[in-house]
Structure 1
Amino acid sequence: MRIWQGGDPEDAISMTRPERPPQKLCFKDNMNESLKFFDRIRDSTQRTHKAKNKLVDRSKGPGKLPRLVGYLDFSYPTYISTAAAVVLAAEFERLAAVDGEVPPTVNLHLWNEQVFRKLAQLGFFEIVGFIANRDDVIIEEGDTRTMRIVSTKNADDLAKVDVALQQLGTFLNPVQRIPDDIIIPFLTALSEAMSNVTNHAYPEDFIPPYPHINSLWVAATADRSKNTLTVVLYDQGVTIPYTYPRIDRLERVLKYLRRTLRREPKFEYENDGIYIRAAMKYGGSRTDQRHRGKGLPQMIQVIEQAGVGAMTVYSRGGWCKRDSNGRFSSGAVPFSFGGTLIEWTVELNPAASVSFT
């Protein structure tokens, strides 16, 4: 087999059978199998870290092939969604930071073309450290423009995201730019979400099940054929189902939770989707402070007033979707997303007007 960790490819041998991702790495269409795969990656990371094993063992001396303790066979998947690609990049970046080594790609020449192109467009190979970071943030291809994954530990990179999203908005409507009363609320809501993550996703009193690196990952895609802008945000910190039961809430929220929570859940995360749904519908706390939960309702308000759109929030083992006609649906699975993932799509209609009240 051929491995690559940046630099020149090498021949190598593996000491164990490979780990195969599902053919479709997608939370919308193949949630359980995708989450099982990411769970296995996290568990493997934990075991490797505790055992202090090298991912690539070159200790056998000159002339001997490097040995892998195991590897991910990415010649198997035929599709990866943007959201799954962002989570994958985050997991690999965490492993590189914690262990000082990134799992090598294996037999890159056998990877599915769509999977490779998606990861390359999103800047996966730059994020994990295989190649140097590019200066350009926007990647062009046909009717789409993609903002490569921005990995940040604070909100300082919001300006970079702001400029990139402005470029994506201009691409969607090159003749008549998206008006400020649409794009500004869009960026304001995104800024609220990013600030919430960078300020509150990694509290000192929270002990995560896996090592984390206090980061936030953001990516975006503009599709001119659909006139849509999609933004994906992901963090590996404390989740909505963990924090929401621990904050002061308005009486109407308490009534909603008393009515909908399952008193005897069948599995640990069964109520997680209900907490996310409450956060999306009502926001955060009795104090109504901005950092205590206004971000998600604000993002929904942009959808309602800017045009057609949808938003899905995945957090710990739960998910909640607000679809394009305003309906909410939610649920939970017995596997964790390893943090909170937001996928937010807005159809940018230049004739629309947005204002926050």
Structure 2
Amino acid sequence: MKERKRNLSLISRKHLQATYFVAPPLMDIRKAKPRSKLLAFIKRLRIAIITKGGHVCIDFSNTEKLVASGTLLFVAELRRSISLAKHKTRVSCIPPKKRLIAQVFQQVGVFRLVGYRKKINIGQHDDVVHWCFATGHGAEGEKFDDILGNYDGRIATALSRKLYQGITEAMTNAHHHAYISPRQDGLLVDRQVRDWWMFSQEKDDYLHVVFCDLGVGIPETLPRKHPSIWQKLLETLVASNVDDARVIQEATKLEKSRTEQHHRGRGLGQMVKAVTENFHGSIDIYSNQGRYTVSAGRQDKLRNYESSILGTLISWTIPISKREHIYYAQN
């Protein structure tokens, strides 16, 4: 206890001149309340890092749970903000009290981003060692191995091939179509960060793969890239019912990828079919305020939130097992 107090005292003196931002206890975008808190925190942090300058300290001491989708969104926003700050802002942190959270932050590079140099022993805990992270821009197929190379021989060749196609398609779409106009976050920046970010995590015999870009979002790109489909959607539905979730759903019905090149695969629709029909998994597609969920053997779900993630995040959940046939069951 004395050691802990001494460490906190040193931290307090070290960060005396900093502007503090307290991270939420839960990083999650699936449920409305934690989503709202996370996005509000990210917004404040983004503004401070990109426009204010000086010393920004992120206080993770109350963070108790990480969900892959919410955590990836936070990591993507943090990396983008630091990149746009051009060294005018120093970012530091107060580490989490919960050791498991600290281990994950070290594993996925958060501590390196904020200059926290104390070495954390990762250990062999399943909730830590199976987190993998990659980032890039464009269709960098070699990054697939960074995320899923460890699963060679553990997942079927057909599944590996479909995942490769889906992930490289997402990379291509992010590079060519996500960043077609300035981001609607209210900040004036002199350049765009056109990157994508990706996590994978294995837990309880399921493989979770999450992909994120911080572009304009599917509800903005569909009307511009496919005006005829957009017009048909407006004619079919009452204008007030054309919300973000429905636009995402419509985007999964496109027969060609957004690049209009057949060798790119069949875009979101191909991803959905491969994961849910072929491999009994589920896929969540978040874009701006909408969420479209497809699960094997279940009815599709549409949901809209009050707050926007200002981008697109795709989350695959796929069962992995030594058995030949295993069906996905959502909690």
Q: TM-score range by the shorter chain?
A: 0.7 to 0.9
Residue 68 of structure 1: aligned partner: none
Distance 1:286 1:214, change over 3 A: closer
Residue 120 of structure 1: aligned partner: 106
Distance in structure 2 (CA, Å) of the matches to 1:48 and 1:142: 33
Which runs of no fewer than 5 residues in structure 2 stay unpaired? 1-7, 326-331
Amino acid at match of 1:220: S
Return the structure number with greater helix share. Answer: 2
- The offset of 1:237, in angstroms, is 1.0
Task: Summarize deviations over 1:274-299 as a string: whole Å, max 9, x none.
Answer: 11111124456899545999321111
The question of whether the paired residues in 1 share the 8 Å contact of 2:104 and 2:128 is answered with no
- The offset of 1:130, in angstroms, is 4.7
Residue 159 of structure 2: aligned partner: 182
Distance in structure 1 (CA, Å) of the matches to 2:97 and 2:17: 18
Residue 202 of structure 1: aligned partner: 179
Distance 1:151 1:127, change over 3 A: farther
Amino acid at match of 2:157: D
Stretch deviating more after TM superposition (330-339 or 114-123): 114-123
- Say whether residues 1:343 and 2:315 are aligned partners: yes
- Say whether residues 1:193 and 2:170 are aligned partners: yes
Distance in structure 1 (CA, Å) of the matches to 2:92 and 2:161: 41
The question of whether the paired residues in 2 share the 8 Å contact of 1:35 and 1:336 is answered with no
Task: Summarize deviations over 1:226-256 as a string: whole Å, max 9, x none.
Answer: 2x221111111121011112233676x8655
- Find the residue that maps to 2:59 and give its secondary structure: coil
Amino acid at match of 1:41: I
The question of whether the paired residues in 1 share the 8 Å contact of 2:93 and 2:114 is answered with no
- Find the residue that maps to 1:246 and give its secondary structure: helix
2:248 to 265, 270, 276: 276
Residue 34 of structure 2: aligned partner: 33
Amino acid at match of 1:324: A
Distance 1:284 1:318, change over 3 A: farther
- Find the residue that maps to 1:55 and give its secondary structure: strand
Distance in structure 1 (CA, Å) of the matches to 2:263 and 2:288: 20
Aligned-CA RMSD value: 3.5
Distance 1:149 1:250, change over 3 A: same
Distance in structure 1 (CA, Å) of the matches to 2:293 and 2:27: 19
Stretch deviating more after TM superposition (187-196 or 110-119): 110-119
The question of whether the paired residues in 1 share the 8 Å contact of 2:210 and 2:313 is answered with yes
- Say whether residues 1:89 and 2:75 are aligned partners: yes
Distance in structure 1 (CA, Å) of the matches to 2:212 and 2:9: 31
Distance in structure 2 (CA, Å) of the matches to 1:292 and 1:206: 25
- The offset of 1:186, in angstroms, is 1.8
The question of whether the paired residues in 2 share the 8 Å contact of 1:2 and 1:12 is answered with no
Distance 1:34 1:321, change over 3 A: same
- How does 1:58-77 map onto structure 2 within 5 Å? 71-77=57-63
Distance 1:44 1:221, change over 3 A: closer
Amino acid at match of 1:233: F
- The offset of 1:147, in angstroms, is 4.6
Distance 1:162 1:326, change over 3 A: farther
- The offset of 1:159, in angstroms, is 0.8
1:103 to 91, 96, 99: 91
- Say whether residues 1:149 and 2:150 are aligned partners: no
Distance in structure 2 (CA, Å) of the matches to 1:213 and 1:37: 21
- The offset of 1:197, in angstroms, is 0.9
The question of whether the paired residues in 2 share the 8 Å contact of 1:35 and 1:337 is answered with no
Distance 1:147 1:19, change over 3 A: closer
Task: Summarize deviations over 1:50-72 as a string: whole Å, max 9, x none.
Answer: 34x3026xxxxxxxxxxxxxx43
1:331 to 284, 300, 303: 303
Residue 4 of structure 2: aligned partner: none
1:168 to 142, 151, 157: 151
Residue 239 of structure 2: aligned partner: 263
- The offset of 1:318, in angstroms, is 1.1
Distance in structure 2 (CA, Å) of the matches to 1:15 and 1:144: 30
Distance 1:159 1:44, change over 3 A: closer
Distance in structure 2 (CA, Å) of the matches to 1:164 and 1:292: 20
Percentage identity across paired residues of the two chains? 23
The question of whether the paired residues in 1 share the 8 Å contact of 2:132 and 2:147 is answered with no
The question of whether the paired residues in 1 share the 8 Å contact of 2:104 and 2:131 is answered with no
Distance in structure 1 (CA, Å) of the matches to 2:150 and 2:212: 22
Residue 22 of structure 1: aligned partner: 24
Residue 271 of structure 2: aligned partner: 299
- The offset of 1:15, in angstroms, is 6.8
Residue 55 of structure 1: aligned partner: 55
Distance 1:115 1:324, change over 3 A: farther
- The offset of 1:315, in angstroms, is 0.8
Task: Summarize deviations over 1:19-40 as a string: whole Å, max 9, x none.
Answer: 4333222122x33433443334
TM-score (norm 2): 0.78
Distance 1:26 1:85, change over 3 A: same
- Find the residue that maps to 2:54 and give its secondary structure: coil
The question of whether the paired residues in 2 share the 8 Å contact of 1:234 and 1:341 is answered with yes
Distance in structure 2 (CA, Å) of the matches to 1:144 and 1:72: 21
TM-score (norm 1): 0.73
